[in-house]
């Protein structure tokens, strides 16, 4: 039974990684940049939900929605202020700016809300107990997995069909040509950031419901791991982020359960290194030869 329990915990953690990884992979796919501040947007989303439900007594659903709105605005503002002026700059400059934004968010959070950890109240409590109490599945776990699936289906539909999705794929391939086809590249990129940040808010709330310690650095390690998941699955690929996230979560929980709690992160990254050695573009990524 403990094996099954571990699988379920792994899928649940993996679903959170997958939702975060979607934000990384979409932004990378379209803007060709690594938004290292993405993990900290998760943290902001969790804080917003924490205060909305805790201090203002809002219903958890309203708290999540508020967090999504705040993060969407935050993501768009970050993109407009920090990344948009660097659209023509070398990618290294954008990367360093992203790290700067990440530090800025962490320190602002510390200034505003203090460094002391807060105990996050899960948005749903309780759970299912089956096989006479041998297998416990919390409602948070179910909610996390269901949310992840729903998000995947909606996002695939959005990108695969419809006008904005086509505009996104066009921008991802060739921004110049997309512009000449009448596509507003700037608003397409802003849209991508908005969607990624709204997903980050959901991920933040789900993550803090499962692991209820909330502090300004809460988002950074999951952010890095979700980035790993995105690379694992093939960065730029939406199904890749999903597969990468799930696998990473399962590997992490299994490593914790059967090998060593201390070594679990090392094992996760070892798996990443092995995948990249065998398939440098990630599991579902496509190898794109550099044009000369």
Partner 1 sequence: MSKQYPKPKLVPVPSTNIIPERDVDKSPILECRHLGIDFGGLSAVSDFNMAIGRTEIAGLIGPNGAGKTTVFNLLTKVYQPTRGTILLDGKDTHSMTTAQVNRAGIARTFQNIRLFSKLSVEDNVKIGLHNQATYPMWSGIFRLPSYWHKEKVAHEMALELLSIFDMQDLADHQAGSLPYGAQRRLEIVRALATGPSLLLLDEPAAGMNPSETAELMDNIVKIRDTFQIAIMLIEHDMNLVMGICEGICVLNFGKIIAKGTPAEIQANPAVIEAYLGKKKEA
Binding site for partner 1 (CB under 8 A): 154, 157-158, 161-167, 169-170, 173-174, 176-185, 286
Residue placing its CB nearer to partner 1 in the complex, 151 or 207: 151
Least CB distance to partner 1 at residue 69 (A): 17
Least CB distance to partner 1 at residue 195 (A): 10
Q: Report CA-CA distances (Å) from 223 to 23, 152, 162, 241.
A: 10, 19, 30, 13
Compute the distance between CA of residue 145 and CA of residue 12 in angstroms, rounded to an integer.
6
Residue placing its CB nearer to partner 1 in the complex, 57 or 163: 163
Which of 198, 38, 44 shows the shortest CA–CA distance to 107?
44
Residue placing its CB nearer to partner 1 in the complex, 16 or 167: 167
Phi (first) and psi of residue 191, to 5 degrees: -60, -40
**Contact predicate 255/264, CB 8 Å:** yes
Residue placing its CB nearer to partner 1 in the complex, 132 or 176: 176
Least CB distance to partner 1 at residue 84 (A): 14
Residue placing its CB nearer to partner 1 in the complex, 135 or 166: 166
Give the total residue count for the chain.
Answer: 292
Least CB distance to partner 1 at residue 179 (A): 4
Least CB distance to partner 1 at residue 150 (A): 11
Least CB distance to partner 1 at residue 184 (A): 5
Per residue in 157-170, is it b (16+ CB within 10 Å) or e — as a string? eebeeeebeebbeb
Give the DSSP per-residue string, 229-274.
Answer: HHHHH-TT-HHHHHHHHHHHHHHHHHIIIII-TTTHHHHHHHHHHH
Least CB distance to partner 1 at residue 155 (A): 9
Name the 3-class secondary structure at 118: strand
Residue placing its CB nearer to partner 1 in the complex, 6 or 186: 186
Residue placing its CB nearer to partner 1 in the complex, 9 or 192: 192
Compute the distance between CA of residue 40 and CA of residue 24 in angstroms, rounded to an integer.
12
Bridge partners (DSSP) of residue 137 are 128
Compute the distance between CA of residue 42 and CA of residue 123 in angstroms, rounded to an integer.
16
Residue placing its CB nearer to partner 1 in the complex, 170 or 268: 170
Least CB distance to partner 1 at residue 34 (A): 21
Name the 3-class secondary structure at 148: helix
**Contact predicate 159/22, CB 8 Å:** no
């Amino acid at each position: 039974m403990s094996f099954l329990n571990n699988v379920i915990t792994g899928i649940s953690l993996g679903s959170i990684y997958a939702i975060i990884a979607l934000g990384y992979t979409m932004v990378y796919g379209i803007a060709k940049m690594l938004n290292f501040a993405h993990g900290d947007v998760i943290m902001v989303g969790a804080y917003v939900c924490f205060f909305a439900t805790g201090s203002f007594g809002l219903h958890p659903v309203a708290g999540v929605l508020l967090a999504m709105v705040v993060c969407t605005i935050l993501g768009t503002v970050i993109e407009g202020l920090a990344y948009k002026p660097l659209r023509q700059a070398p990618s290294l400059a954008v990367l360093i700016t992203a790290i700067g934004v990440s530090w800025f968010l962490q320190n602002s959070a510390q200034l505003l809300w203090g460094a002391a950890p807060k105990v996050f109240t899960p948005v749903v409590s309780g759970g299912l107990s089956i096989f006479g109490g041998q297998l416990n599945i919390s409602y948070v776990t179910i909610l996390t997995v269901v949310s992840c699936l729903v998000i995947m289906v909606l996002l695939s539909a959005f990108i695969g069909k419809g006008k904005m999705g086509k505009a996104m794929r066009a921008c991802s391939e060739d921004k110049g040509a997309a512009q000449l086809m009448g596509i507003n590249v700037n608003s397409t990129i802003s849209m991508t950031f908005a969607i990624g940040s709204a997903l980050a808010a959901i991920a933040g709330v789900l993550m803090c419901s499962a692991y209820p310690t909330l502090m300004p650095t809460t988002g950074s390690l999951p952010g890095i791991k979700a980035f790993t998941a995105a690379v694992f699955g093939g960065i730029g690929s939406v199904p890749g982020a999903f597969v990468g996230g799930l696998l990473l979560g399962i590997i992490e929980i299994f490593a914790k359960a059967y090998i060593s709690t201390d070594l679990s992160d090392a094992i996760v990254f070892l798996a990443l290194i092995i995948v990249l050695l065998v398939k440098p573009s990630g599991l579902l990524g496509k190898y794109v030869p550099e044009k000369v």
